[in-house]
Amino acid sequence: MKCPYCGHQEDRVLDSRTVKDGESIKRRRECLRCQGRFNTFEEIEERQLVVIKKDQSREPFDRRKILKGMSTACEKRPVSTEDLERAVDEIEMLFRSRPTREVSSREIGELVIEKLRELDQVAFVRFASVYWEFGDVEQFREVVNALSGRTPRPGKAREEGERAKLEEPSGRGRRSPAPGA
């Protein structure tokens, strides 16, 4: 290690201790020429994840983008920042544990959708509507119905509404015209 004071290449380690929950080692060193003392840190160098976009371009993995997208979907919803951070941590850890350092944006999006489905159904639908690029209301309806476990028959809601109007108790709903009108 090169001394920051005199540039000499030889030193001795006075003290070593782990920091950051064992992820780093801090060493107190002393230069053998000028007796200047300095600290060094050793950390495991993680290989950078690379995201392969739809157009096949590549960019560095950025957890902040994932967190921002999930936060936007969860805006005004009862989802804590801690829950979102934990979900992003799990997504990142999954990709970092793989032997390959490339991940497709599609894989990231699918995991985000899965995590949002677990956290909040409204946030899930918000994110899915953008991610899956819904072209019409019918696609939106299909996702909502799948979440609620319903698969409606076309026209069923209209039929049920008309039946309810016919079955309303007297004195409510439709009124008969006043005598002489």
Residue 1 pLDDT: 84
Res. 76: pLDDT tops 50? yes
What percent of the chain is predicted at pLDDT more than 90?
54
Residue 26 pLDDT: 94
The per-residue pLDDT for range 104-143, each reduced to its tens digit, is 999 999 999 999 989 998 898 888 888 777 777 887 778 7
Do 110 and 124 meet the contact criterion of CB atoms below 8 Å apart?
A: no
The per-residue pLDDT for range 36-64, each reduced to its tens digit, is 999 999 987 777 899 999 999 999 999 99
Do 92 and 51 meet the contact criterion of CB atoms below 8 Å apart?
A: no
Torsion-angle region of residue 102: left (phi > 0), alpha (psi -120 to 50) or beta?
beta
The enclosing H or E element of 86 equals helix 81-96
Distance CA 50, CA 57 (A): 10
The enclosing H or E element of 60 equals strand 58-60
What confidence category does residue 174 fall into, taking pLDDT thresholds of 50, 70 and 90? Answer: very low
pTM of the model: 0.55
Do 5 and 36 meet the contact criterion of CB atoms below 8 Å apart?
A: yes
Residue 167 pLDDT: 43
Do 67 and 88 meet the contact criterion of CB atoms below 8 Å apart?
A: yes
Residue 175 pLDDT: 41
Give me the chain's average pLDDT, please. Answer: 81
Other beta carbons within 10 angstroms of residue 140's beta carbon come to 15
Torsion-angle region of residue 160: left (phi > 0), alpha (psi -120 to 50) or beta?
alpha
Residue 150 pLDDT: 55
Task: Please identify which residue in the block is written with the tokens 């993995």.
Answer: 61
Q: 164 or 70: which carries more pLDDT confidence?
A: 70
At 35, phi and psi to the nearest 5? 60, 15
Residue 127 pLDDT: 87
